[in-house]
Structure 1
Amino acid sequence: MSLRRVFTAACVVFVAGEMALRLFWIAGGRWGYTVCDRTDLGDHPARGCGADQVATVPFVAGWGALGLCVALAVVIAYTDRWKAAVTWIAAVILLILAFPLHLLFEIPAGIAGQPTDWRDLGGRVALLAGGIAFAGLAHAVGSPRGSAPTEYQPAPEWARRWAYVAVALPIVGWAVPHGLWVLGVPFGISEQQLHSADGDLSTATGVALTVVPPLAALLVLGLVQRWGQQYPPWLPGLGGRRVPRLLAVLPAGTVAITLVAYGVLSFGAFAGQVLDGEQSWAQIREGWATVATLLVFLSWGVAVGVTTAGYIVATQPGRRAAECRRSGVSATGPRAGRGRRVIAKPGGP
């Protein structure tokens, strides 16, 4: 079965499941109900946003979402001309709504015993799965014909530079300040913020949140190294084989979109607090590290996204043949009359 059929089936399952769930809510059911009471979110929406208090399903979560599901189903089934563009748009929207970075923080907190809205997290996981499915379908539909390179193709130099930036940012901008906070050093934050963080997170959770992001960032190097295109030879059964492009592109693209979305939305929320007077300039100066963290997330997402684009360019199907055509050499050997070494006969002119 081709990847296009696999991702098409996954998209159909996701759309059908979302349609059934929205119809269930409209009919009065409340299983998996994730609608929030926007009039009283409280200080910690992740701990429960009052879904049970919303008696009538809002249009966006009910009939509006149902209409979008029907439109996506029509695109999947009948439209070929705009399928790649529409599915990419759907993938980006679903990944932003899923907010995987929220899952990264809330799931460990819930496992550690912190109050958590598990219905909301379950809905986000479903949206994340749908976003990945639509991204896979968009990639399968929009990819040019031809086979991907079987040999290692060096990434562009600009992609390599951005990869190093993507690795350095979470170390300098995330691990260093968070490590100091775990050690009790109020680096760039107030004593009150430090004590509040200590009360919300255990030491083990704080260490995990400090160490995991920079370690995960090291995987970005695979987008510009050989082991990102070919499995290392020491892997049993896989050594030397080509790494499927989607195995690298989908996770990296998801992370990039999530980080950029988090940075943009967080900056918007921060600007709103400043304009409303909830944040004074004195508080901002005292807690400058928290504001700088928003910039780190945004820059990190951009760096991962650009590096992913470089990986896509390097592993583009037909790239080898196109380069050979430009250089006058066939993909399997020298072209007749071109790229051939000519040896003059003795006594010739």
Structure 2
Amino acid sequence: MSLRRVSAVACGVFVVGEVVLRLSWIAGGRWGYTACDRTDLGDHPAGGCGADQVATVPFGAGWGALGFCVALAVLIAYADRWKAAVTWVAAAILLVLAFPLHLLFEIPAGVAGHPTDWRDIGGRVALLAGGIAFAGLANAVGPPRGPAPTEFRPAPGWARRWAHVAVALPIVGWAVPHGLWVLGVPFGISEQKLRGADGDLSTATGVAITVVPPLAGLLVLGLVQRWGQRFPRWVPGLGGRRVPRLLAVLPAGTVAITLVTYGVLSFGVFAGQVLDGEQSWAQVREGWATVATLLVFLSWGVAVGVTTAGYVVATRRSVDG
């Protein structure tokens, strides 16, 4: 079965599943629905924070999402000229809505026993899968290309420099301060806030949150190294084979979009709190490290995005074969 057919079937299953789920919520069912606020899970997040007591599903989760699914299906079915562009836009929207960056923290925390809204996580994993399916379809329905390069093509110099920035940022801007907080050092935050964080997270969860992002950041090096274009010889069954371009570009692009989106939205929230007086400049100075983390996310996303662009340039298919 071709990639195009597999992707189309996966997209169809996703859209039908989402339509059925949203219709069930509109009709009064609450299976898989959550009333939790991601910033405040309340006392019973596993049960959706009282989802069964919600009388009317919000527009965005009900009719709004249903309309988006229907419009998406119609556009992809009939917009022949713009099919690839529309599908790419749909994939980007779904991947951003999935907030995959949070999943990296929430799933390990939930497995470690931290109170978790599994309904929200399940819904966003479904969105993530849908975004990947639509990205695969967009790649399959795009204009025909020439043969992929068979030899290693070095990334441009600017891409290699940005890759090093993308690796350094989560280490310096995330692992270092979080490592100090796990050790009980109030680096850039108040002691009261540090004590509150210690009460919410176990030591194992704190270590995982500290270590996972920089380890994941090391994967960015694959976009500028030989093993990002050819599987290493020691990989069973795949050693020496060409890495599918989409396998590298899609996850990296998703992470870049998510990080930039998260950074921009978080800065917007922060600016609103300062302007409304919810946070004073004295509080900002006392907790400067948490504000700096927002800048780290935004810069990290830009660095990953530019590095991904360099990978695309380096692995661009030859027109003349």
Instruction: Give me the TM-score of the superposition, normalised by structure 2.
Output: 0.93
Q: What is the deviation of 1:288? A: 0.3
Residue of structure 2 in register with 1:325 after alignment: none
- The whole-number CA distance in structure 2 between the counterparts of 1:278 and 1:294 is 18
Structure number with greater Rg is 1
The equivalent of 2:163 in structure 1 is: 163
Please list every run of at least 4 consecutive aligned residues from structure 1 whose deviation after the TM superposition is greater than 6 angstroms. Answer: none
- Identity in percent: 83
What residue is the counterpart of 1:283 in the other structure?
Answer: 283
* 2:300 matched residue in structure 1: 300
Report the Cα offset of residue 168 of structure 1: 0.5
Instruction: Describe how 1:1-349 pairs up with structure 2 within 5 A.
Output: 1-34=1-34, 36=35, 41=37, 44-45=40-41, 47=45, 48=48, 50-142=50-142, 144-318=144-318, 321=320
Worse-matched range after superposition: 222-231 or 89-98: 89-98
With 248-257 and 109-118 compared, the bigger mean Cα shift is at 109-118
Greater CA drift, 171-180 or 62-71: 62-71
Gaps of 5+ in 1: 322-330, 332-349
Provide the secondary structure at the position in 2 that maps to 1:234: coil
- Once the two structures are TM-superposed, the CA of residue 59 in structure 1 deviates from its matched residue by 2.7
The code of the aligned residue for 1:146 comes to G
Q: CA RMSD in A?
A: 1.8
Contact 2:30 2:51 in 1 (8 A): no
Q: Distance in 2 between matches of 1:205 and 1:42?
A: 18
- Cα distance change of structure 1 residues 301 and 103 upon mapping to structure 2, 3 Å threshold: same
What letter corresponds to residue 119 of structure 1 in structure 2? R
Kept in 1, the 8 Å contact 2:84–2:142? The answer is yes
Partners of 1:305 and 1:51 lie apart in 2 by 37
CA contact (8 A) 1:135 1:250 kept: yes
> Cα gap change, 1:3/1:75 in structure 2, threshold over 3 Å: closer, same or farther?
same
Aligned pairs, how many? 317
Q: Which moved more, 1:199-208 or 1:310-319?
A: 310-319
Return the alpha-carbon distance in structure 2 between the equivalents of residues 229 and 109 of structure 1: 33
Deviations 1:65-91 (A, max 9, x none): 222211211233332211111111111
Between stretches 265-274 and 285-294, larger displacement belongs to 265-274
- State the shift of 1:169 in Å: 0.4
AA aligned opposite 1:201: L
Residues 155, 310 of structure 1: 8 Å contact kept: yes
- The one-letter amino acid of 2:115's match is P
- Give the Cα–Cα distance (whole angstroms) in 1 for the partners of residues 102 and 21 of structure 2: 22
CA distance in 2, matches of 1:266, 1:32: 27
Asked whether the 8 Å contact 1:155–1:314 carries over to 2, the reply is: yes
**Which amino acid counterpart does residue 157 of structure 1 have in structure 2?**
G
Letter in 1 for 2:136: G
Aligned residue number for residue 335 of structure 1? none
1:234 Cα offset (Å): 2.3
In structure 2, what is the equivalent of residue 324 of structure 1?
Answer: none
1:163 alignment partner AA: A
What amino acid does structure 1 have at the position aligned with 2:65? Answer: A
Separation (CA, whole Å) in 2 of partners of 1:123 and 1:22? 11
Deviations 1:262-313 (A, max 9, x none): 1111111111211221111011101100000000011101111111111111
Q: Matches of 2:58 and 2:209 in 1, distance apart?
A: 35
Question: Would the alpha carbon gap of residues 302 and 204 (structure 1) be closer, same or farther in structure 2, given more than 3 Å must change?
Answer: same
CA contact (8 A) 2:223 2:311 kept: yes
| Equivalent pair of 1:144/1:317 in contact (CA under 8 Å) | no
Per-residue deviation at 1:210? Answer: 1.0
Residue type of the alignment partner of 2:257: I
How big is the shift at 1:144?
4.3
Structure 1 window deviating more from structure 2 (64-73 vs 47-56): it is 47-56
| 2:61 counterpart SS class | helix
Mapped to 1, the partners of 2:64 and 2:39 lie a distance apart of: 28
Distance 2:97 2:230 in 1: 33
Q: CA deviation at 1:184?
A: 1.1
Structure with the greater relative contact order (CA < 8 A, sep ≥ 6): 1 or 2? 2
Partners of 2:143 and 2:314 lie apart in 1 by 14
Q: Is the 8 A contact 2:233 2:240 kept in 1?
A: yes
Query: Which amino acid letter does the alignment assign opposite residue 195 of structure 1?
Result: R
Is the 1:92–1:131 contact (alpha carbons within 8 Å) kept by the matching residues of 2?
Answer: yes
